[in-house]
Structure 1
Amino acid sequence: MDFDRRRILKFIGKGSVLAAFLGQIGAAGRAFFPNVLYEPPSRFKLKRPGDYPDGYTLDEAHRLYVIRQKDAFHVISAICTHLGCNVQWKDTEFDCPCHGSRFHPDGTVISGPAPRALDWFATTVSPDGFLQVDSAQEVARDFRLLVGAKGKA
């Protein structure tokens, strides 16, 4: 009986050494696969151009404003350049409720503490007729996407 007990304990001991060795190999192998930060895509679709009324429309999901002026569209970030709060459209200007920054309708700073203007994003019409925004590509403040009656740029 002593012999069986000794054999079981040896088996458990060797098994635990093997498990520890394999665990170390697995941990070392993990170093070859970098950590990846999964972020939402920078290019995304919004609604169709005809779904937007004239004026400023907040898209809360993407934290941006879609501005329609008849058949012209442009997109401005709703993220304050000071500390990342959501700015609010107040009839004639953007206001940051957190720290008091104010911005002109084109996103330029009226008063701080925001260090720079709100970002303008590249906007196109996708082949299936939706507004498409690329938040990784900034455009000039005079950019306007002209959309015809059939929803095509």
Structure 2
Amino acid sequence: MDSERRRILRFIGKGSVLAAFLGQIGAAGRAFYPNVLYEPPSRFKLKRPNDYPDGYTFVEAHRLFVIRQKEAFHVISAICTHLGCTVQWKGTEFDCPCHGSRFNPDGTVISGPAPRPLDWFATIVSPDGFLEVDSATDVARDFRLLVGEKGKA
């Protein structure tokens, strides 16, 4: 009976050493596969320029505002620079409903805890006629994309 117990304990001991060894091999093999952060692309297409009315249009999927002033377009981020809340357009200014930051129509800070203005993104008309935004590229606050009557820049 005692030898049977020792045989089982030896089997369990050898099995645990084997499992630990295989775990270490697996962890070492994992080092050959890089950690990749899958983020949404910074360049993306929106609608065609003629699909936007004059004024401020919120694009929920990308958390930004497309501003159309006749044939001129620009895109402002809707992400508050304080803690990342989504700002709202209130007719004459942007308001952060969470912490009270307020921004001018050009995104500059009026008041509140926001440390800097809202970001302006580079915008072009793609070859197939859609507005294309590059959220990784900031542009100056006087940037305007002029689009002709056929939707071409």
Give the superposition deviation at 1:94: 0.4
Q: Tell me the equivalent position of 1:27.
A: 27
Q: Does 1:112 align with 2:109?
A: no
Tell me, yes or no, if structure 1 residue 65 matches structure 2 residue 62. no
Structure 1 position 35, deviation (Å): 1.8
Q: What is the correspondence of 1:6-85 to structure 2 with a 5 Å cutoff?
A: 18=18, 20-85=20-85
AA of the residue aligned to 1:55: G
Q: 2:5 maps to which residue?
A: none
Amino acid at match of 2:51: D
TM-score by length of 2: 0.88
Structure 1 distance, partners of 2:151, 2:11, is 73
Partner SS, residue 21 of structure 2:
helix
Residue 103 of structure 2 corresponds to residue 100 of structure 1: no
For residues 13 and 114 of structure 2, the distance between their equivalents in structure 1, rounded to whole angstroms, comes to 64
Q: Structure 1 residues 148 and 20, CA, compared in 2 at 3 Å: closer, same or farther?
A: same
Q: Indicate the RMSD between aligned Cα atoms, in angstroms.
A: 2.3
Q: Which runs of 5+ in 1 are unaligned?
A: 1-9
Aligned to 1:150: 150
d(CA) in 2 for partners of 1:117 and 1:65?
A: 14
Unmatched 5+ stretches in structure 2: 1-9
For 2:129 and 2:123, locate their aligned partners in 1 and report how far apart those are by CA, in whole Å. Answer: 12
* 1:130 matched residue in structure 2: 130
Instruction: Spell out, residue by residue over 1:83-135, the C-alpha distance to the aligned partner (whole angstroms, 9 max, x if none).
Output: 11110001110011111111000000011211100000000011111000000
Task: Give, in angstroms, the shift of residue 141 of structure 1.
Answer: 0.2
Shift of 1:150: 1.0
- Give the aligned length: 152
Separation in 1 of the partners of 2:83 and 2:15?
54
1:26-71, CA deviations, whole angstroms, 9 ceiling, x for partnerless residues?
Answer: 2111123232211100000000001000000000000000000000
Q: Distance in 2 between matches of 1:110 and 1:128?
A: 38
